[in-house]
């Protein structure tokens, strides 16, 4: 018994260390967002000023705005196209299905640079100007596969006969979809959308190649600043963004855990 406690201690220590590794940089971001000094070396004093300043920084704000525009539109498009695609691919056989299935993995596995330059090349060939539009096309492209994957993993858990049951009970195919399949898919769709949004707002490489002068996103803005040194303003806005997203995730996690607990009690 004591031996196993010993073992548990070492196991938990390793888990703890890995989490320290993962979270240390985040701690740095947060701490230095309150630092009076701009230099990010020593903590000179506590201040909120960067939080105020960042909202007056036109560049950062416009980059954030671009990021959100691209993130929201790409997520919406990718979610719709990906969800429909996942359902269609599960339900039907059609020529080229096997190929489409493989193609969907390409954006996931090939290095992002390759997709980035491929899109840049095709835009250049087709005369599509680099802009928010071109950026959205690119983001939708790499988000779709993740939506398909999450929705599909949810779909396999959904009994196919449910839709048939609905048809059997007099629902038209559209009603069956809206009344039965969609409500059941919602968690998968939401997590696919969440995944897409997270990917989109953090993308550096593909955006790097497909962005235009008026569509600099937050990550690209940061990339441009990295060499000079990231200012506490960036730390401040990053802290705020994290706060928003973490609250979302935590709410979801609490929901999941309580669901787990409920089902365990059964």
Partner 1 sequence: MEKSIDSENVPITKTKSHYFSKTLIKWGQILPISIWMLLLVVIPLMYVLIMSFMSRDFYGGIVYKFTLSNFAQVFAGQNLKIYAQSIGIGAVSTVVCLLIAYPFAMFIAQKGPVAKTILMALVVVPSVSNSLVRLFSWITLLRKTGVVNTTLEHLGIIHHPLSMVYNTGGIVLGMVYLLLMFMIIPIFNSLDRIDHNLIEAAEDLGATKWQILKEIVIPLSKPGIFAGCIMVFIPSLGYFFVSDVMGGGTSTMMGNLIENQFQTSRNWPLGSAISVMLIVLTLVLLVLFQRRGGDMADLGGR
Partner 2 sequence: AKHSKTLNVIGWSEYVPQSVLDRFTKETGVKINYTSYSDPDEMLSKVLSSANGTYDMVLAPGMYVQILRKLGRLDKLDKAEIPNYQNLSQTALNEPYDKFNQYSAPYLGTVMGIAYNAKKVKTPIKSYQDLLKPEFKDSLVTVEDSRAVVGCALMATGHKINDTSKAALADASKYLAKLKPNIKIFDGSSPKTSLINGEVSAGLIYGGEIALAMQNNPDIKVVYPKEPVYFAYDVFMKLKKAPNGTNVDKFINYMLAPKTSVKFSEAFPYYNPNKQAVKLLPKKLRDNPAVTVPNNVLARSQTVLNLGKETTKIDKVWNDFKGDQ
Partner 3 sequence: MTDMKEMIRLSSIKKNYGDVKIIKDLNFTVYEGEFLTMLGPSGCGKTTTLRMIAGFEEPTSGEIMLNEKPVSNLPPYKRKINTVFQNYALFPHLTVAQNVGFGLKMAGVPKVKRGPQVEKMLKLVQLEGYGNRKLDQLSGGQKQRIAIARALINHPQVLLLDEPLSALDLKLRKQMQLELKRLQRKLGITFVYVTHDQEEALMMSDRIAVMNKGHLEQIADPRTLYEQPKTCFVANFIGESNIFYGKVSEITKTDTKVTIENGYLTLQSDKPVFEKQIVNIVIRPEKVKFSTTEVPGFHIPATVAEHYYAGNVNKSVLRLPNGMALKMTSAGDQKLPEIGKSGFVYWELADAILIKTTSDDVFKAVDNPDFSMVNQMGGD
Tell me which residues in 110-129 interact with partner 2 (CB under 8 A).
120, 124, 127-129
DSSP 128: P
x/- binding map, residues 44-83, to partner 2, per CB under 8 A? -------------xxx------------------------
Q: Output the smallest distance, CB 190 to partner 3, in A.
A: 14
DSSP 174-223: HHHIIIIIHHHHHHHHHHHHHHHHHHHHH--HHHHHH--TT---HHHHHH
Tell me the sheet residues that pair with 46: 35
Judge contact between 213 and 135, C-beta under 8 A: no
Residue 198 near which of partner 1, partner 2, partner 3, none (CB within 5-8 Å, type-dependent) = partner 1
Residues numbered 31-90 forming contacts with partner 1, rule: CB under 8 A: 32, 40-42, 80-82, 84-85, 87-89
Q: By CB under 8 A, name the one of 229, 246, 248, 257 that touches partner 2.
A: 229
State yes or no: residue 183 binds partner 3 (CB under 8 A). yes
For residue 92, which of 160, 190, 191 has the smallest C-alpha distance? 160
For residue 191, which of 252, 247, 244, 261 has the smallest C-alpha distance? 252
State yes or no: residue 15 binds partner 1 (CB under 8 A). yes
- Residue 175 CA to residue 167 CA, distance in Å, equals 9
The torsion of the CA quartet 224, 228, 232, 235, rounded to 10 degrees, works out to: 40
Q: By CB under 8 A, name the one of 12, 13, 172, 258 that touches partner 3.
A: 172
Residue 128 near which of partner 1, partner 3, partner 2, none (CB within 5-8 Å, type-dependent) = partner 2
Using CB under 8 A as the criterion, which residues of the chain lie in contact with partner 3 when the complex forms? Answer: 159, 161-162, 164-172, 175, 179-180, 183-184, 263, 266
């Amino acid at each position: 018994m004591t031996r196993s406690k010993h073992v548990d201690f070492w196991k938990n220590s390793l888990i703890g260390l890995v989490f320290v590794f993962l979270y240390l940089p985040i701690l740095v971001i947060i701490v230095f967002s309150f630092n009076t000094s701009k230099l990010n070396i020593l903590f000179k004093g506590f201040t909120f000023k960067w939080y105020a300043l960042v909202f007056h920084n036109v560049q950062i704000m416009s980059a954030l705005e671009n990021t959100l525009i691209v993130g929201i539109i790409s997520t919406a498009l990718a979610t719709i196209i990906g969800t429909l695609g996942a359902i269609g691919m599960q339900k039907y056989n059609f020529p080229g299905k096997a190929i489409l299935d493989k193609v969907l993995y390409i954006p996931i596995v090939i290095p992002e640079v390759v997709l980035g330059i491929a899109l840049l090349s095709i835009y250049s060939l087709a005369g599509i100007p680099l802009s928010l539009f071109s950026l959205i096309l690119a983001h939708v492209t790499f988000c779709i596969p993740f939506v398909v994957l999450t929705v599909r993993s949810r779909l396999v858990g959904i009994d196919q006969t449910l839709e048939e049951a609905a048809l059997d009970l007099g629902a038209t195919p559209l009603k069956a979809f809206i009344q039965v399949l969609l409500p059941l898919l919602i968690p998968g769709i939401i997590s696919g959308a969440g995944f897409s949004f997270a990917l989109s707002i953090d993308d550096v490489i593909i955006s790097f190649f497909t962005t235009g002068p008026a569509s600099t996103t937050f990550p690209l803005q940061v990339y441009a600043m990295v060499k000079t040194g990231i200012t506490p303003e960036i730390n401040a806005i990053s802290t705020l963004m994290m706060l928003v997203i973490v609250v979302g995730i935590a709410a979801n996690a609490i929901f999941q855990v309580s669901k787990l607990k409920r089902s365990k009690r059964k």
